[in-house]
Chain A
Amino acid sequence: MDLSYGSEYDAFREEVKSFIRSHKHKQPKPGDGIKSQAMRDWQSLLIEHGYHSRTIASEYGGYGAEPDIIKSRIIAEEFGAERVHRGFDGQGVTMLTPVLLEMGTEEQKRAFVEPTIKAEMIWCQGYSEPGAGSDLASLTTKAELDGDEWVINGQKIWTSTAHHADWIFCLVRTEPDAPKHLGISFLLFRMDTPGIEIRPLVDMTGDANFNEVFFTDVRVPKHQIVGQRGQGWQVANAILGHERGSLATPDAAMNRLHGVKRLMREESINGEPIMSNPVFRDRLMKLEGRVLAMQYNDMRLLSAKINKNQDVRLAGMIVKLTGTELRHEIECLGIDVMGEIGLSYGDNPHLRGHGSWQYQYMFYLGLIIGGGTSQIQKNIISERGLGMPKEPKIPSEKSAEKSAKEA
């Protein structure tokens, strides 16, 4: 075990610190949307200095540095410590870009990566359908080839940020006769293509964070496919791996925990600071222990990327489940220590932290469900991580009919 980053990294850390000192005032403010000029300028500034899209080749708009996980870690640490905006990390950046770089054609990389990482092209993820959530592979939105174009018909649901998005990466069924995992393709198309209708869905926070998206004879050029026909499931799974890791980072959890500590110092009841209440303090310390475990787990995952001699599959598989549940509980403590003030919402003048405690408490319940529910995570951990058998499959009506006929 050697936890020092090495003295060669001290200079790098200084560089990051000095960047933050001199540019911090340019970061986007809480109200700046994902399409604001402030966001785009900040994003370009970060890329230019290598603090975003660091290892993406410069020919695709990135900074073009050699992968150095320790440098990436130092950037995360310093930005986290100063609570500086890390740049735009929409679904196009975190999920699509890695996949394009791995599986896209040269043309696709050139066309999409640069505007995506610069926040000039906003993406949404069109996977889930009303009948296909946990059982994503049963999706039925279909695309048929007509000359040089795909013609798409069907419906997506829970599509986050579809109302802001310029483009969508979308799973569609192109091979209706193939087994369900082998009949899916991965298409990219513009959200202003004729035939697309977006209807916002209000969620429990009161915001419309996601949408229903309807496709009626939407025509998309044939070449806007990633991977081969019928390979969409493999492409999608490559992205889901990226998504799950990014939903609940331990560093963000630690930031929120520090937020709870601030609340407990500032809030008082009958003149006594909440921090002097041993019951709340114990809950705080218990959560801190859990966050620390996740932070060290994260460092172990990081080090395994450099030295591939450790098997960390299980350590990676538990991150989404444990991280989202933990975050939900941290937000809950934030509410509990405030008592009735913790109920404040909307325009209530007693809000602490812009109402973020109740909001995040609900939002993290959403993330416990989104990106693969906790129950699905547990299936994955037990089946793929611990080698336990799968539950027996029930054949679809269609395949049951087929085998009856064959018999």
Chain B
Amino acid sequence: MEFGLSQDQLMLGDSVRKFLASEVPLDTVRQLAAGESDDSSVWQGLADMGLAGLIIPEAHGGAELGMLDAVAIAEALGYAACPGPFLSTAIMSAYLLNAAGATDPLTRMASGEYRVGIAFSDVIGSRKGQVTEADSKLTGQSLFALDATADAYLIGLSDGRVFMIEASELTRSSLSTIDVTQSVCELSFDQSPACHVSSSSELVWQTIHRGRAIQAADTLGAAQYMLDQAVAYSLDRKQFNRVIGSFQAVKHMCAEMASQLEPCRAFAWYAGHAFDESTDEAALTACHAKAHMAEVGQFIAKTSTEVHGGMGFTDLVGLHYWFKRIGFNRQLLGSPEAVRHEAAELEGLC
């Protein structure tokens, strides 16, 4: 038995981490926040490393790797608060389109030139009207669609059917949220022509659960970054003639963060592995991983900020970009309460 990442997976994670450390520094995030740039050059860089086509079959220009590989990468992306549509284009859309037998967009997705966003609010829980379809034409609105600059979107209807629509066929307005590193938008359709992709509600849910496993890994990485920063800061900052890391109160805050976070690593790995092995509990594991990581992430986001004192509250150290990314992952694709409810249903408890 060997519970852990393979040598290849470790190397993959490392190379992504190295790339992000040099190519996506905090300044990139700041420029994005100031509206001085978008995420397109970062995404092209990641695509050139093979991340856009990670799970796409080799026949369509992808690397044909699995969900555990994707988890290792998502953790690295979260650690760097890296912008770009990894979750939407590279995981959710790539999986769904491939499973539905579509071939055409996959090659362009793998090369990074074509981005397919995800608009699944109606499936997960609609808060405003619903998108309706007649004669392959969509009408209505979809809120908080992932990726505000995608070339096309997959629209999930409440009955589980999925349509694909080109961005030029709809009205789109970008939505500001607390997190500048992951873009979302509102889509409006008015008799907009769309392509039918799938009628399998099972497939939509498989896609959502994969997304959730990736989100869990992303939050894991972001939380790990915040913990690392807290420990480093506590060894550097002095008050009362000693480093604050020598106060038991501060040590205990850090130890508590570590005790909650460390098991999440194994959890996230298993969530990825369960999809690769198509085990029965893959969906359940993804729900639990996503909801649990949201709670642990929230605790670490707050506690790490506190360890930094007033500095943590400012923009100077930039810690808040990770704080907000963790907050974003908490709500998108289902809040922890909603996802735990689904988990109970999957277990047949209600």
Report A's interface with B, CB cutoff 8 A. 128, 131-135, 138, 157-158, 201-204, 267-270, 277, 279-280, 328, 332, 335-336, 339-350, 358, 362, 365-366, 368-370, 373-375, 378-379, 391, 393-397
B226-247 vs A: 1/0 string, CB under 8 Å? 0000000000001111101001
Asked whether A343 and B127 contact (CB < 8 A) given A201-B314, A201-B316, A348-B175, the answer is no
Q: Tell me how far the C-beta of A371 lies from the nearest C-beta in chain B, rounded to whole angstroms.
A: 10
* B277 CB within 8 Å of chain A: no
Give 21 pairs: A residue, B residue, CB < 8 Å, sorted on A: A131-B238, A134-B239, A135-B240, A138-B239, A201-B316, A202-B315, A269-B338, A270-B126, A277-B337, A339-B127, A339-B331, A340-B335, A343-B179, A343-B327, A345-B176, A347-B176, A369-B310, A375-B247, A375-B306, A378-B249, A396-B241
**Contact between B310 and A394, CB atoms less than 8 A apart:** no
**Contact between A369 and B127, CB atoms less than 8 A apart:** no
Residue of B310, B316, B332 near A340 (CB, 8 A) is B332
| Nearest A-chain residue to B177, judged by Cβ | A343
B238 contacts across to A, CB distance below 8 A: 131
**Contact between A336 and B125, CB atoms less than 8 A apart:** no
* B213 CB within 8 Å of chain A: no
B179 contacts across to A, CB distance below 8 A: 343
Report B's interface with A, CB cutoff 8 A. 121, 125-127, 143-144, 175-179, 184, 186, 238-242, 244, 247-250, 253, 298, 302, 305-306, 309-310, 312-316, 319-320, 323-324, 327-328, 331-332, 335-338, 341
In the complex, A280→B341 CA distance in Å?
12
A340 contacts across to B, CB distance below 8 A: 121, 127, 143-144, 184, 331-332, 335
**Contact between A339 and B315, CB atoms less than 8 A apart:** no
In the complex, A133→B312 CA distance in Å?
13
A368 contacts across to B, CB distance below 8 A: 306
**Contact between A344 and B314, CB atoms less than 8 A apart:** no
| Nearest B-chain residue to A368, judged by Cβ | B306
Residue of B244, B313, B331, B341 near A365 (CB, 8 A) is B313
Question: Which 8 residue pairs are nearest across A and B when measured between Cβ atoms?
Answer: A204-B320, A346-B176, A343-B177, A202-B315, A135-B239, A340-B144, A375-B249, A394-B241
**Contact between A203 and B125, CB atoms less than 8 A apart:** no
Q: Tell me how far the C-beta of B17 lies from the nearest C-beta in chain A, rounded to whole angstroms.
A: 25
In the complex, A157→B315 CA distance in Å?
14
A396 contacts across to B, CB distance below 8 A: 241
Q: How many pairs, one residue from A and one from B, have CB atoms within 8 Å of each other in the complex?
A: 131
**Contact between A203 and B332, CB atoms less than 8 A apart:** no
Q: Tell me how far the C-beta of A283 lies from the nearest C-beta in chain B, rounded to whole angstroms.
A: 9
Asked whether A345 and B302 contact (CB < 8 A) given A336-B337, A339-B331, the answer is no
Q: Tell me how far the C-beta of A208 lies from the nearest C-beta in chain B, rounded to whole angstroms.
A: 9
**Contact between A203 and B315, CB atoms less than 8 A apart:** yes
**Contact between B177 and A134, CB atoms less than 8 A apart:** no
A349 contacts across to B, CB distance below 8 A: 175
In the complex, A401→B249 CA distance in Å?
29
**Contact between A358 and B313, CB atoms less than 8 A apart:** no
In the complex, A362→B179 CA distance in Å?
13
B249 contacts across to A, CB distance below 8 A: 375, 378-379
In the complex, A268→B129 CA distance in Å?
11
**Given A335-B327, A369-B305, 20 extra CB contacts under 8 A:** A133-B239, A203-B315, A204-B315, A268-B127, A269-B126, A269-B127, A270-B125, A277-B337, A339-B338, A343-B179, A343-B331, A344-B176, A348-B177, A365-B302, A369-B309, A375-B249, A378-B249, A391-B248, A393-B240, A396-B241
Residue of A201, A336, A373 near B309 (CB, 8 A) is A373
Interface centre among A202, A344, A395, A396 (most CB of B within 10 A): A344
In the complex, A134→B249 CA distance in Å?
13
Asked whether A343 and B144 contact (CB < 8 A) given A348-B175, A375-B249, A391-B247, the answer is yes
In the complex, A394→B22 CA distance in Å?
40
